[in-house]
Amino acid sequence: MIPLSTTVLFIHSAGPQGANQGSSNLIAYLEKALKHDFNFVYPNMPSPEQPAYLEWKKQVENELHSLTGEVILVGHSLGGSVLLKYLSEESYTAKITGLFVIAAPYWGMDENWQLKDFVLQNDFEQHFKDVPQLFLYHSRDEEIVPFAHHLAYAKKLPQAQKRQLEGTQHLFHNGLPELLQDIKSLSMT
């Protein structure tokens, strides 16, 4: 059972973060659905329209160090790739009970995705053996981050539960019921 002291830490996407922009609608959807069962934290990330890994890393680190109890990590788009990079390169003491990565770019995969700060180490997958629940979500026909990125993560992280979604959603303005169901399922195990 997940105790009520469990925190869901949501790391949002890059780009504008105002109302109805970026991850804002997905955050609102999750907060409304989870607020009675979990602490829900979604920090403002530095310079979201011109993100730099070192700044985002520092913010993730600060958030993880400030939390007590069990932690569920949710990363949307750039937020997902930042969590994967951080967890594979840094030491942390937080007790992570689940990692949920939504529509994350696989940096360095091809010539269109070359932000060197965000590229993962070649053996990054070795660092996820102790994460008890790992989920990957991606829309098959989305146009922002191609589905090939999901397939690359799925290949490197075969233990992950893969949620291949129909449609073109990247921002999930109307929510993501599969994600909500998977988060809530952790409290039943």
For residues 29 and 74, the answer to whether their CB atoms sit within 8 Å is no
Contact 45, 71 (CB under 8 A): no
Task: Judge whether residue 8 has pLDDT over 60.
Answer: yes
**SS3 of 79, please?**
helix
Residue keyed to tokens 């829309």: 139
Alpha helices in the chain (DSSP H): 24-34, 53-66, 78-89, 147-156, 177-186
CA–CA gap between residue 100 and residue 120 (Å, rounded): 17
Q: Say which amino acid occupies 139.
A: S
Predicted confidence (pLDDT) per residue in 21-51, tens digit = 999 999 999 999 999 999 999 999 999 999 9
What does the pLDDT look like over 136-161, one tens digit per residue?
A: 999 999 999 999 999 999 999 999 99
Q: Percentage of residues in the chain with pLDDT exceeding 70?
A: 96
* pLDDT at 1 exceeding the cut of 50: no
pLDDT at 5 over 90: no
pTM over 0.85: yes
Angle at 97 between CA 117 and CA 19, to 5 degrees: 60
pLDDT 10s digits, 56-72: 999 999 999 999 899 99
Cα 69 from Cα 149, distance rounded (Å): 32
